[in-house]
Structure 1
Amino acid sequence: MQQDISNMNREGLPSNKSLLKATVVAFLVGALLLVTTILPAEYGLDPTGIGKQLGLTVLSSDHDSHSQPASSAPTLLATVSSVWKGKEALRNDTMSLTLGPNEGAEIKAKMVAGERFVFNWEVQGGEVSFDMHGERLNAGDEFTSYWVGRNQSSASGAFEAPFDGTHGWYWQNKGSEPVTVVVKTSGFYETLYQPE
């Protein structure tokens, strides 16, 4: 009698094998939609090329301030939030400094809040510890650390000054041989210099 009740409860329901097959098919369809439609339309990523053929990559250009649909002419926008405005002209600088064992030194940029640069630095001959930081004007010994690292041979990134002042790096050679740090910057700032 109990066997009849369990059979009655399962009547009309799919088997475990059918449920598993339906789940796998749903997952595959979802993954296919993600790759062919959602990624091109929302993020401009089109690994298959189908999004471009369907015109879906144009939808992502509304979010991307650097691209416009190929069929439209450039237009002047009333408000653009991704424009960098600065008083200084675009600069490109390269500086280097040599550090003996257990020696440290800085290179800094004088900047106004909102000014930006991209940077890359490399160490020739070893590794260094570093502190990327900034000081407000006339702040004495007070500073704000942005990025601290140890045993690095290179670093790169982009930086926006959060306040008026000097912003840059302090490197320390904790090795037993001299090293040379070469830093390259490109952006909007008053000057790049090595404090004395």
Structure 2
Amino acid sequence: MFNTPLPTVNELPSTRKLVRSTVIALLTAVGLLVTVVMPSEYAVDPTGVGRALGLTQMGELKIILAQEALADATPPQASAPAPAMQVAQVQPVAKPVAQPAPTPTSALKTNQMSVTLKPGEGTEIKLEVLKGKSVSYEWTAVGGPVNFDTHGEPYNVEMGYFHSYS
């Protein structure tokens, strides 16, 4: 019934070889855990190898993103203003697309803010825009490159849906 013959007792590895192979596999797993997994997943780098390979920075970024996701999931509470976190100036300007407002005053609203970021930190700036309206904005970064993503999240849609603007 067997397609291959069963190995003989002489062909099987000895208990000593099995223990040796198990110890080698265990040491390899622990080495990878300490030098690769812990720095890249949890930003814990006891050996310094993760920092040298750039894995610790990846772990730090994951922690920051997880904290932001947790903050987004919790309902907003009335509290003191958050500390400044980004080197950027954002000037959102909301104005109607179709017809100007019937009032004689200007329909444009201008806001300006300055946020300071430390290396590896991030922030999210949100603006609520009514359907049929448009926004003009301008921002600048001083002191280095800044990664950004502009997207819209409509109300009453499935979790995770967004519209990206390029």
Common fold, TM-score beyond 0.5? no
Q: Which has the higher contact order (CA 8 A, sep 6+)?
A: 1
**TM-score, length of structure 2 as denominator length:** 0.37
Which is strand-richer, 1 or 2?
Answer: 1
Which is helix-richer, 1 or 2?
Answer: 2
**TM-score, length of structure 1 as denominator length:** 0.32
